[in-house]
Amino acid sequence: MPSLIDLRRRIRSVKSTQQVTKALKMVSAAKLRRAQDRVIAARPYALIFRQVLGDLAAAVAGDETADNPLLARREEKRILLVLFTSDQGRAGAFNTNLIKASQQFIAERAPGAVQLDLVGRKGRDFWRKHKGPILAERTGISQKPTYEDAVAIAGEITERFAREETDAVYLLCNEFKSILSQKLTVARLLPVEFPTERTSTDFIFEQPPAGMLAALLPRYVAISVYRVMLESAAAELAARMTAMDAATSNAGEMIDKLTLHMNRVRQASITKELIEVVSGAAAAQE
């Protein structure tokens, strides 16, 4: 049975941990509001951009569309998977689910067909340890993604696809739904696919539609990457806030249990001392 000193030490240790988890929860909650606003603002812009590109593609003749390297469809023999994980832990199953999904993605393809572009330290550390097919690594941008980071990532991706070094590019991330819910999403980025529904408006273009399409497609790829980075950052903060809230509650329950156990041990110790005193007094009287 642990002594009173050991129990007091454990209680102090759990209280210190509880203070840390509570602080992390509050920090994540403060950051989540801003991240959530950025995600909500980015979604309509990306959707409308995609619709505009669809209208442009519909206005361009089939041969001109086929000449664009970002629209070229090839057999998926060489696939690039861009995996978005976090740089820090303490976010529950946020990174674990992503890493398992990437393992499943690779297992479902032909051996050696998939290469990894890893955004986030957790995914990088895992695949380094397991000697995965890593093509690129990017860390330090998961919590505060910028459009410049997205442009850099999108530029490398589009160059590889245009040079036919990659036949398809997929993005794997956690999409932010709510504070308590994140959706694991795998979406194909390249070749670019347009929505099947078209607007009935007959547009008049000042510039040749083919030239506009060629100019806007790289920007669409960058915006898509940026939106995914924002989604992942918001989902990470939500997962961390939820995990730290659960950890704080669990620490409180453990403190209550340890305090109750400590009181019982102290009571037993006091009772034992009283019995010894009474027994000693009775023996002295005899």
Amino acid 200: pLDDT: 57
Amino acid 48: pLDDT: 86
C-alpha pair distances (Å), 115 with each of 142, 151, 157? 20, 20, 12
Residue 186's beta-bridge partner residues?
172
Q: Crossing angle for the helix pair 121-129 and 94-107, nearest 10 degrees?
A: 50
Distance CA(188)–CA(186), nearest Å, equals 7
Amino acid 284: pLDDT: 65
For residue 228, the Cα-to-chain-centroid distance in whole angstroms is: 10
Tokens of 68: 């664009």
State the Cα angle at 221 between 215 and 222, rounded to 5°: 95
Please report the domains of the chain, with CATH numbers, ordered by start residue: 4-20+244-285 (1.10.287.80), 32-240 (3.40.1380.10)
Contacts of 164 by beta carbon, 8 Å cutoff, 6+ apart? 72, 74
Closest CA to 172 of 109, 218, 130, 216: 109
Encode the chain (286 residues) as per-residue pLDDT tens digits: 567 788 788 888 888 888 888 888 888 888 888 898 899 888 888 888 888 887 777 777 655 555 778 888 888 899 999 999 999 888 888 999 999 999 999 999 988 899 999 999 999 999 999 998 999 999 988 888 999 999 999 999 999 999 989 999 999 999 998 888 888 999 999 988 876 665 556 677 777 777 888 888 999 999 999 999 999 999 999 999 988 988 888 888 888 888 888 888 778 777 776 776 667 666 666 6
216: left (phi over 0), alpha (psi -120 to 50) or beta: alpha
pTM for this model (two decimals): 0.83
